Amino acid sequence: MNFDAITIDEIASFLAHPLIVVIFGGIVASIVGHRFTRSWEERKIAFEIRNKLITEMIENLTRLMAMATRGEMMRDNPNREEVRGMLVPHLSEWRIFSQIFSAKLRTYFPKREFPAQWSDVFEAAYAFTHLTATFPVAERHEHLDKLRRLLHIDVDNPDIDFDLLANREVAPGGELEGPFATSWQNLRTMIEEKGNSLAGEILTTRIIITG
C-alpha cells in the first residue's frame, strides 16, 4: 500500500467505519468509566471516613460529659477517693482517644488546623471532668478559669455563674438543682457545641486519601 497516496477522505472513511467507531468508543468508555468509578469509590470512602471520625468524636465527648455530671452529683459522697477513682480511668481513656484522633486529623486533613481545634475541645472536656473530682474551692477556680479561657467566656456572662460553680455545696442526694444546675448545664453545652462545630467543619472538608 502506498501510504503517500492516502488521502484525507480515505482516512476519514477509515475512521468512520462502524468497527473502528465501536473500538474507539469502547476505549473512551473504558477510560471514562474507570475514572468515574474510581472517583465514586473515593467519594464513598471519604464519606465513610468523615462519618466515622465524627461519630467517634461525638460519642466519646458525650460519654465523658455524662460521666463528669455523674461525678459532680456524687460530690456528697463521704469517700471522695471513690469519686476520683471512678473518673480517673475515663480521663485516661479520653487522653488516649484524643492522641489517636488527633493523629487521624493530621493524616486526613493535613492543610487544616483541625488538630489545634480538637486540642481545645479535648482540654475543655478534660478540665470539666477534672472539676468534678476537685473539692477545694481554689482548685475548682483553677479548672473553671481554664474553661473560661478555652471557651472564650466573658467573666460577667449571665448564663454561667463561675463563683457558684466553684463554691457550691451538693444538695442532699447529690442532685444538681437551681442556678447551679443551670450554670453547670450551660457550661457543658458550650463544650459540646465546640465539638459539634468541629464536626461540622470535618463533614464539609475534602479528605485526603493516600494509597
Q: Where are the alpha helices (DSSP H) in 74-177?
A: 80-108, 114-132, 137-151, 162-167
Does some domain include residue 70?
yes
Q: For residue 3, what pLDDT is reported?
A: 45
Per-position DSSP letters for 158-192, written without gaps between them: TT--HHHHHHPPPPGGG---HHHHHHHHHHHHHHH
Calpha distance 208→185 (Å, rounded): 37
Stated length of the chain: 211
For residues 135-161, average pLDDT? 88
Q: For residue 13, what pLDDT is reported?
A: 60
Does some domain include residue 8?
no
Does some domain include residue 144?
yes
Q: Which domain holds residue 82?
A: 55-203
Q: For residue 8, what pLDDT is reported?
A: 57
Does some domain include residue 184?
yes
23 pLDDT above the threshold of 80: no
Count of the separate structural domains present in the chain? 1
Burial class (CB in 10 A: 0-12, 13-18, 19+), 178: exposed
Does some domain include residue 162?
yes
- Between the ranges 69-73, 128-132, 182-186, where is the mean pLDDT highest? 182-186
Which grid cell is 15? 475512521
Element (H, E) at 70: helix 18-73
Calpha distance 120→4 (Å, rounded): 74
Q: For residue 136, what pLDDT is reported?
A: 78
Which grid cell is 50? 468523615
Give the distance from CA 82 to its chain's centroid. Answer: 31
Residue 1 pLDDT level (bands cut at 50, 70, 90) = very low
Q: For residue 17, what pLDDT is reported?
A: 57
Does some domain include residue 132?
yes
Please report, rounded to a whole number, the percentage of residues in the chain having pLDDT higher than 90. 40
101 pLDDT above the threshold of 60: yes
Which grid cell is 28? 473512551
24 pLDDT above the threshold of 70: no
Higher per-residue confidence, 131 vs 59: 59
Contact 134, 115 (CB under 8 A): no
Q: What is the pLDDT of residues 50-65, one digit of tens each?
A: 999 999 999 999 999 9
Calpha distance 54→62 (Å, rounded): 12
Q: Measuring CA to CA, which residue among 34, 116, 27, 133 is closest to residue 80? A: 133
Burial class (CB in 10 A: 0-12, 13-18, 19+), 54: middle
Q: For residue 103, what pLDDT is reported?
A: 95
For residues 33-59, average pLDDT? 81
Does some domain include residue 21?
no
Calpha distance 54→9 (Å, rounded): 61
166 pLDDT above the threshold of 60: yes
Does some domain include residue 16?
no
Q: Measuring CA to CA, which residue among 167, 116, 122, 170 is closest to residue 144? A: 167
Q: For residue 106, what pLDDT is reported?
A: 94
